[in-house]
A = this chain, B = another copy of it.
Amino acid sequence: MRGSDTSENLLVRKMESFVRVSGDDIAALDKIWNGTRHSVAPQGDIVREGDPPGVIRVLMKGWACRYKLLGDGRRQIISFFLPGDIFDLNMFVLKKMDHSIRALSPVQYVSLSHIEFERLTIGHPRILQALWWETLVNAAIQREWTVNLGQRSALERLAHLLCELHVRLKVMGLVEGNTCEFPITQIELADTLGLTAVHVSRKLKELRSRCLIRLNGNQLQILDFDGLCQIAMFDANYLHLDREEAIPEAKADCG
């Protein structure tokens, strides 16, 4: 329904998913959303390890990821950024970035200086609260990824990641029916899940053959969300969607 409307202000939608915002708040968010757009091609770095933290960025379109490289070339993807996600909020306290961020698909973002950020939050306490919430949910996601990598098997890990991404995209209105964009290669999945691309391929095949998902090219279709949740032992609590104004569709899918 709203999912394909690329002009929708996802920043408003994100804030609304946390708190009730006023018309005045929305005007402020629209001003940010309509600021200068920056574009980055797939595989392009947005932030590099060692850089001084500069601005706060809001992802308008496309997917990005945080990642870290080890000395011998191994790479771990640490988190995904989806449209509407905010990154490097508060990071300006630190001197240097300890990781890099790169585009996974064609990306557009707007950026916000420290000053603009302060001006926004001082005038709009509800927005400040929503930004807090967003920050804490991101921390909770990072903890859940720790659990995922530490305890779950390859199949469970993969299923868990798909569940999480599906719910996060749904909250932002980016799932049509049960289908969403999925601009991620198997190599990237492998670097996310601590597996090899070969094994990701095997396990995707298994999910397909068990009629849980369909995945062609960039389109992911979730055929049996409950089944996936069960394999993954997915419990959406950590996404903290249980606020008063919770989005109903997002809750209905998984007990």
- B76, B233, B243: which contacts A71 (Cβ < 8 A)? B233
Is the beta-carbon distance between B136 and A76 smaller than 8 angstroms? no
A146 touches which one: B98, B149, B237 (CB < 8 A)? B149
Total interface residues on A, CB under 8 Å, equals 45
Question: At the interface, yes or no: A150 with Cβ under 8 Å from chain B?
Answer: yes
How many copies of the shown chain assemble into the complex?
2
Chain A residues 60 to 91 lying within 8 A of chain B, measured CB to CB, are: 66, 68, 70-72, 74-76, 78-79, 90-91
Q: A70-B151, A74-B151, A151-B194 are in contact. Are A96 and B242 (CB under 8 A)?
A: yes
Instruction: Name A90's contact: one of B66, B78, B132, B237 (CB within 8 Å).
Output: B132
Identity of the chain B residue whose Cβ is nearest the Cβ of A242 in the assembled complex:
B95
**30 A-B contact pairs sorted by A residue (CB < 8 Å):** A68-B143, A68-B147, A70-B152, A70-B233, A72-B233, A76-B147, A76-B151, A78-B143, A78-B146, A90-B135, A93-B129, A93-B132, A93-B136, A94-B240, A95-B240, A96-B237, A96-B240, A98-B143, A98-B237, A99-B143, A139-B139, A139-B142, A142-B146, A145-B146, A146-B149, A149-B149, A149-B194, A150-B192, A150-B193, A151-B194
